[in-house]
């Protein structure tokens, strides 16, 4: 298979996008710009990680129109009364920033990681984010690509069956294809599939975490396979 044909075949497996939401710091939290250009100041915990509410939504600091100054709830006294209206106790609530919940954007790109609502993926040096609708990382030197997909699969086997069905529709059904089950990846056991495209290798990993099936793909030139630690990135994923 020649190089031009291999490149065209590889494009059947991964779509590459260009835009990304980037993280910036402010004294009040993390600044992000969502898909429609709105800026949000996200609340972070002691470790600098974004905070989510009980429904998995991000929590943001309510700011003025310039997204620079937070709106503050002044200190106040709260009075607790009984059924008869008698004062039981009083306590002081200190000054605090107003907050509200917002829907998680497609992703948030940090300096050394990219996060979506359900997990955080490492982004080591030499890798760049090239996705706009999902996490897609590219190794700039070797052009190795990691792409991600959260499918509506109920099991790992259903994900594999879907892959097999799509594979059967490809014009080249004779592409060497192998499946390895009970493969240790992402801190659990999953399924690893491999397409041998000659001078390009394509890997698909299916894993289930917290009752959700995830699919991670890797496209790597054969000459670099085994030299680029793409599985190290997958093994470094922190699921929420």
In CATH, what number is assigned to the domain containing residue 140? 3.40.1000.10
Determine, yes or no, domain membership for 93.
no
Q: Which two three-digit tokens encode residue 157?
A: 């086997």
Q: Alpha-carbon distance 160 to 177, whole Å?
A: 12
Same domain, 33 and 138: no
pLDDT tens-place string over residues 126-167:
999 998 888 999 999 999 999 998 778 999 999 999 988 888
Same domain, 124 and 194: yes
* Among 206, 174, 172, residue whose Cα is nearest residue 189: 206
Q: How far is CA 172 from CA 6, 219, 221, in A?
A: 11, 18, 19
The structural domain count of the chain equals: 2
pLDDT tens-place string over residues 99-130:
777 777 778 888 889 888 889 999 999 999 99
For the whole model, what pTM was predicted?
A: 0.67
Determine, yes or no, domain membership for 61.
yes
Residue 195: per-residue pLDDT: 93
Same domain, 218 and 126: yes
Residue 32, domain extent:
24-70
Out of 17-31, 156-170, 201-215, give the one with best mean pLDDT. 201-215
Determine, yes or no, domain membership for 117.
yes
Same domain, 141 and 66: no
* H/E segment holding residue 158: helix 156-169
Say if residue 23's pLDDT is above 90: no
- 32 pLDDT band (50/70/90 cuts)? low
Tell the burial category of 219 from Cβ atoms under 10 Å away from its Cβ (0-12, 13-18, 19+).
buried
pLDDT tens-place string over residues 167-190:
877 765 678 999 999 999 999 999
Same domain, 12 and 59: no
Q: Are the C-beta atoms of 148 and 214 separated by less than 8 Å? A: yes
Determine, yes or no, domain membership for 227.
yes
Say if residue 88's pLDDT is above 60: yes
């Amino acid at each position: 298979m020649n190089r031009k044909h291999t490149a065209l075949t590889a494009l059947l497996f991964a779509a590459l996008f260009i835009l990304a939401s980037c993280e910036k710091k402010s004294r009040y939290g993390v600044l992000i710009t969502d898909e429609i250009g709105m800026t949000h100041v996200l609340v972070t915990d002691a470790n600098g990680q974004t905070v989510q509410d009980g429904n998995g939504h991000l929590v943001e600091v309510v700011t003025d129109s310039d997204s620079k100054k937070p709106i503050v709830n002044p200190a106040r006294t709260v009075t607790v009364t009984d059924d008869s209206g008698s004062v039981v106790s009083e306590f002081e609530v200190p000054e605090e920033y107003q907050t509200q919940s917002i829907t998680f954007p497609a992703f948030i790109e940090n300096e050394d990681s990219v996060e979506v609502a359900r997990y955080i993926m490492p982004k080591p040096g030499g890798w760049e984010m090239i996705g706009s609708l999902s996490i897609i990382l590219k190794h700039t030197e070797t052009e190795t690509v990691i792409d991600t997909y959260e499918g509506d699969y109920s099991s790992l086997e259903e994900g594999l069956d879907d892959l097999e069905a799509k594979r059967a529709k490809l014009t080249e059904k004779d592409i060497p294809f192998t499946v390895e089950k009970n493969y240790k990846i992402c801190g659990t056991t999953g399924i690893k599939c491999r397409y041998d495209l000659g001078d390009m290798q394509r890997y698909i990993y299916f894993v289930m975490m917290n009752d959700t099936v995830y699919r991670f793909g890797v496209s790597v030139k054969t000459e670099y396979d085994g030299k680029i630690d793409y599985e190290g990135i997958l093994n470094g994923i922190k699921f929420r």
